[in-house]
Amino acid sequence: MEGVTAALNAAMANGAPGAMARFTGPDGVRSRTVGVRDRVSGAAMDVQARFRIGSVSKTFSTVVLLQLVQEGKLTLDAPVNQYLPGLLPDDRITVRHLLTHRSGLADYTDDMFNNTVPGFEAVRNRVFSYQELVDLSLALPRTTEPGVAYKYSNANFVVVGMLIEKTTGRPVADAYERRIFKPLKLTKTSYVHPDTRIKGLHVRGYLHPDEAGAPLVDSTEQTVSWAQSAGAVISSPGDLNTFTSALMRGRLLSPAMLETMTTVTPTDTTNTRFYGLGLRRYDLSCGTQIFGHTGTVQGFYTYAFSTRDGRRSLSAVANTSNHGSANTALGGTLEAAFCGKKPAAAPSSRAAASPTAGELTQLPAERDLPERH
């Protein structure tokens, strides 16, 4: 775990007050923490603490929707408008297009958080309806024709939440609880929208303003109503490891549906990053393929990934955001945990030295939300 600790320290060197990771494998559980979970009290980062997982929520939402598909209540290649009549302006947009980010629906968060802190404060305590969020997306130009290209958009998973609620007749929180949280005994995982609090022992999140040198903003309390089914789940490192491992082991979906979920297409030209149905696949330098999701919500960066057989899983979090170098550094925990690679250097370093044997230079982190740093 030396490389994992180095990656966590690199995240701190790049602006995170603290960071932690939990790795579960055949040899048991190993955890590492650095820094603080609360800048005011000075409380140390704690691997038992809860935090906001951001877009890792998309994988939870996808599991629920795919279970409904298994039950014959939805069809992946049916138009969204078949289930939500008149919602979208194009009948060609299917359920599958939402889950693969190929709908062409614009991501309203690009405008919402164009100015990071003012944008956040404007929605911190606001409660949106799903329809209001869809309307924000539809007011913007579409990004692609349906099915043509991958373009990440939170709007897709807002519509997924609408589909879940329309199909089940119940709030999405009930679906998470009944279909995932309770069966897997995820006692530290919750969906409390629009409650602004994280209950119990938790990590406080700190948002970097756009202005260099400006003080961090405590962003812990918020409704996350601007994201809902796209990003409002709360969890812990242990629960995330349990979830990703159980998913890959087939405890939540049938073998055929899991194969569908893990069938991926490239998201960039690196030939290392791919997207399936609500699920990222990263092909690591040692040849290992891992499945899971990244997450960004104000004050938190998260990684939650597992090998395809579910035997090894990692979750990592840093309590900051709008500081991409910290996110990239945190991503170094993946190569460290699954491949034994040590990060070459903190991304802020301008040293020209090449990585030594066993070290790895990382790609910039995914941007699940717009960022200015």
Residue 141 corresponds to which tokens in the numbers above?
Answer: 């130009």
Q: Is 343 helix (H, G, I), strand (E, B) or coil?
A: strand
Q: What is the 3-class SS of 231-296, one letter each residue?
A: CCCEECHHHHHHHHHHHHCCCCCCHHHHHHHCCCEECCCCCCEEECCCCEEEECCCCCEEEEEEEE
Separation of alpha carbons 298 and 204, rounded Å: 10
> Contact at 8 Å (CB) between 189 and 354?
no
Q: What's the residue count for the chain?
A: 373
Tokens 């602004």 -> residue? 196
Tokens 């190993």 -> residue? 30
Query: Could you give the count of Cα atoms lying within 13 Å of 337 in the half-sphere of its Cβ?
Result: 35
Is 315 part of the annotated catalytic residue set? no
Residue 332's Cβ-count burial label (10 Å; 0-12, 13-18, 19+) is: buried
> Contact at 8 Å (CB) between 342 and 359?
yes
Q: Would you report the helix, strand and coil content of the chain in percent, each value rounded to 5?
A: 35, 20, 50
CA 107 to chain CA centroid, Å, is 15
- Looking at this protein, which amino acid is placed at residue 60? F
Pairing of strands 313-318, 320-321: unpaired
What's the DSSP call for residue 91?
Answer: T
**Residue among 55, 137, 225, 313 flagged as catalytic:** 55
Closest CA to 202 of 232, 236, 173: 236
Closest CA to 338 of 262, 287, 294: 287
Report the run of H or E that residue 206 belongs to, with start and end.
strand 206-207
- Please give the positions annotated as active site: 55
